[in-house]
Amino acid sequence: MKFFDEAKIEVIAGDGGNGCASFRREKFIPMGGPDGGDGGRGASIWAIADRNLNTLIDYRYTRVFRGQKGENGMGSDRYGRGGEDLELRVPVGTVITDLGTGESIADLDADGKRSLIAKGGNGGLGNLHFKSSINRAPRQSTPGQPGERRELRLELKVLADVGLLGLPNAGKSTFIRAVSAARPKVADYPFTTLHPNLGVVRVDDNRSFVIADIPGLIEGAAEGAGLGHRFLKHLQRTGLLLHLVDISPFDPDADPAKDAKAILKELKKYDEALYKKPRWLIINKIDLVAEDEREARIAALVKSYRPKRHFVVSAISGTGCREVCFAIMDHLEQARDHAAADR
């Protein structure tokens, strides 16, 4: 199934039914009073988060959703039936924004969470409501109210604890394959990864976290170069970023430290809050460097980058990956404890 993380739709809630103006007409009752019923309520439209969905592809092809209209009121005190509410199921992590006002309507970040995105119109009143001591035969009734009409943008931001960051071909997909059961495509050319991949890393039976792999970033990504800028939003919910750097790039003239700093500049241009998230340096492909050169290369990269923590791994062989997973799990648990204590 194709991965779509954005969609624009139009939602039109149902109009309320009109109220009825009628009078009681029965044999031997010459002047029956008003008996017009109210119109039914128009259908509202709701968005519901569903953990069984992982893409917005359904909303790429069906873009307009209309709620049922309420039935009109009828004589003999009969009220119109209300429209049946319409439910739109979206993946967990979907943010819904009104395109007309720019207002954020809902952030569906938990399974089963629901939000009203278009309210149905109220039904009109029948003439039954307008009788009084001086007006015994009212002929007025009110029409139903129109339902809300909105143009919305649906934006999926995946829910992950840890996000992977780095240039194309830095080994992000290989790393997520090494630490989880996820199996993204891996090849020796840039932009092998075309959409985000999620993997669950199990440290032991009761401890696990979710890691997200996005397409690689290149210089100029904040202005739209490459693919990664489209998917940086998927890192906004993470609690920790892992910046993977290839210490043995194909290009002999490439400088890993300079390339790593270029990525950080793109991150800062895109979102200051994302740039300030906790970030660790993961030095990958150490197995491709001669043993007598390793310490010098690592020291030069760490000195230039100045990370809070750094790890040296070989994702393809799994060397060092287990230590990274345990450190991540400890960091996330400490962050959760601090958040619980602050409440």
Of 123, 156, 189, which one is at a domain's C-terminal end? 156
Helix, coil or strand: residue 212: strand
* Amino acid in the structure at residue 36: G
Please return the burial class of 236, using the count of CB atoms within 10 Å of its CB with bins 0-12, 13-18 and 19+. Answer: middle
The vertex-222 CA angle with 237 and 193, nearest 5°, equals 65
Q: What is the pLDDT of residue 190?
A: 45
Residue 61 tokens read as: 């092809």
Statement to judge: residues 107 and 233 lie in one domain? no
CA distances from residue 310 to 199, 302, 327 in whole angstroms, order as listed: 22, 8, 11
Statement to judge: residues 220 and 129 lie in one domain? no
Statement to judge: residues 119 and 212 lie in one domain? no
Of 156, 172, 207, which one is at a domain's C-terminal end? 156
Statement to judge: residues 206 and 324 lie in one domain? yes
> Does residue 1 form part of some domain?
no
H/E run at residue 324: helix 321-342
Residue 38, CB half-sphere, CA atoms under 13 Å: how many?
13
Statement to judge: residues 144 and 190 lie in one domain? no
Statement to judge: residues 237 and 302 lie in one domain? yes
Per-residue pLDDT of the chain (343 residues; tens, 9 = 90+): 456 678 899 999 999 999 999 888 888 877 778 888 899 999 999 999 988 887 788 888 888 999 999 999 998 888 999 999 999 999 888 889 999 888 889 888 888 899 999 999 999 999 888 888 888 888 889 999 999 999 999 988 777 788 888 877 777 788 888 887 766 555 444 445 556 777 778 887 778 888 888 776 666 555 555 555 566 777 777 888 888 888 877 776 777 788 888 878 877 877 788 888 888 888 888 888 778 888 888 888 888 888 888 888 888 888 888 888 888 888 888 888 887 777 6
CA distances from residue 28 to 21, 77, 131, 137 in whole angstroms, order as listed: 21, 19, 22, 18
> Does residue 54 form part of some domain?
yes
d(CA 309, CA 339): 21
Statement to judge: residues 173 and 127 lie in one domain? no
Q: What is the pLDDT of residue 220?
A: 58
> Does residue 148 form part of some domain?
yes
| Region of residue 299 (left: phi > 0; alpha: psi -120 to 50; beta: else) | alpha
DSSP string, 27-51: TTBTT--B-PPPPPPPPPEEEEEET
Contacts of 283 (CB under 8 A, 6+ apart): 245, 247, 298, 301, 310, 311, 312, 313
Statement to judge: residues 14 and 78 lie in one domain? yes
How many domains does one find in the chain?
2
Statement to judge: residues 112 and 52 lie in one domain? yes
Statement to judge: residues 336 and 224 lie in one domain? yes
CB atoms within 10 A of CB 254: 12
Strand positions, DSSP E, 145-232? 149-156, 162-165, 197-204, 207-213
CATH number at residue 247: 3.40.50.300
> Does residue 176 form part of some domain?
yes
Which residue segment(s) compose the domain that 107 sits in?
6-156
Of 102, 123, 156, which one is at a domain's C-terminal end? 156
Closest Cα to residue 218, out of 244, 240, 191? 191
CB atoms within 10 A of CB 243: 23
> Does residue 284 form part of some domain?
yes
Statement to judge: residues 15 and 33 lie in one domain? yes
β-pairing, 94-98 with 104-108?
A: antiparallel
Statement to judge: residues 138 and 178 lie in one domain? no
DSSP string, 261-306: HHHHHHHHHH-HHHHTS-EEEEEE-GGGS-HHHHHHHHHHHHHHH-
| In contact, 190 and 51? CB cutoff 8 Å | no
Helix, coil or strand: residue 233: helix
Q: What is the pLDDT of residue 188?
A: 45
Q: What is the pLDDT of residue 226?
A: 52
